[in-house]
Amino acid sequence: MRVAVIFFGVARGAAITAASIKRCIYACNPGAIFHTIASLNLVDTITNPRTGELGAPLNAADIFLLNADVYALTRQDDAAIATAMAAARQQRDYFENCWISVRNHLHQLASLRRAWRLAADSPASFDYFLFVRPDLRYIDEIPVAAITVGFNGANNIALPAWHSFGGFNDRFALAAPEAARHYANRLDLVTEFCAQNPLHPESLLAYALEQAAAQVCLLPARATRVRAHGALSPDDFSISLTALPLTPRRFSIEGDKIQFSTGE
């Protein structure tokens, strides 16, 4: 079983999260062959009042605690997301924090798309793609073979059920190749999505998977966000998307709810 592990976003808190990544991804999948790509944004500090980070410095050396096979490190530059940001500004700022959270999300999507372009040079080389935010302390093991036994084809994806906020949790995912492509290229849909909606990460992911006619199933794992100053976010895992099935089902979006079909 060949698995591409794709790290994306910013590697804040890697000194805390690296051990949990080793335990919950690599150690519990002894039969898997992993190839790791770290497509990360380089920033010196993080400022976001919403998360309590005010000029929190980052240690660039922490990136290498991830022990990736391939590193694609890009200095974060707003020019790379200018088109998407302009589209987002046609709607209201969903988070009402002077576009800080929207900007950070777009930069994260840009790093994800760069990672896919590296992996997609030979997508047939991988059976599955595991998308991993490096700033999460993983609590539960992610046994790839056990989770994907319920997959039915290349357009299946497993997502966490908690913190879905009316869409799908976008923090990490395990996907077959076709669904992985749609997961990784959400930045390309921002203009289309924002023609009708404020930019909201979980809703954008639901939109992308609906457009792709992907099949979604449960990824039974939890993870806690680690902030740049080392604090752990107080996540409430009891808030879950109760409609998310244990086996793949097609779904559609009706209003602010996700409806799953009852057939295969």
**pLDDT tens by residue, 150-189:** 888 899 999 988 888 888 999 999 999 999 999 999 999 9
Phi and psi torsions of 111, nearest 5°: -65, -35
CA angle (233 as vertex; 65, 81 as ends), nearest 5: 70
CB atoms within 10 A of CB 159: 29
Q: What pLDDT score was predicted for residue 110?
A: 97
Residue 40 pairs in a beta bridge with 9, 73
Q: Which of 38 and 232 is assigned the larger pLDDT? A: 38
Whether residue 86 is predicted with pLDDT greater than 70 in this model: the reply is: yes
Q: What pLDDT score was predicted for residue 244?
A: 44
Residue 172 pairs in a beta bridge with 132
- pLDDT tens for residues 26-70? 999 999 999 999 999 998 887 677 776 666 777 888 899 999 999
CA distance 126 to 1: 8
User: What confidence tier does 263 reach under pLDDT thresholds 50, 70, 90?
Assistant: very low
List C-alpha distances in Å: 166 to 81, 170, 215, 230, 261: 25, 12, 17, 29, 17
CB atoms within 10 A of CB 41: 20
Q: What is the pTM of this model?
A: 0.88
Domains annotated on the chain, with CATH: 2-260 (3.90.550)
Q: What is the mean pLDDT of residues 200-229?
A: 88
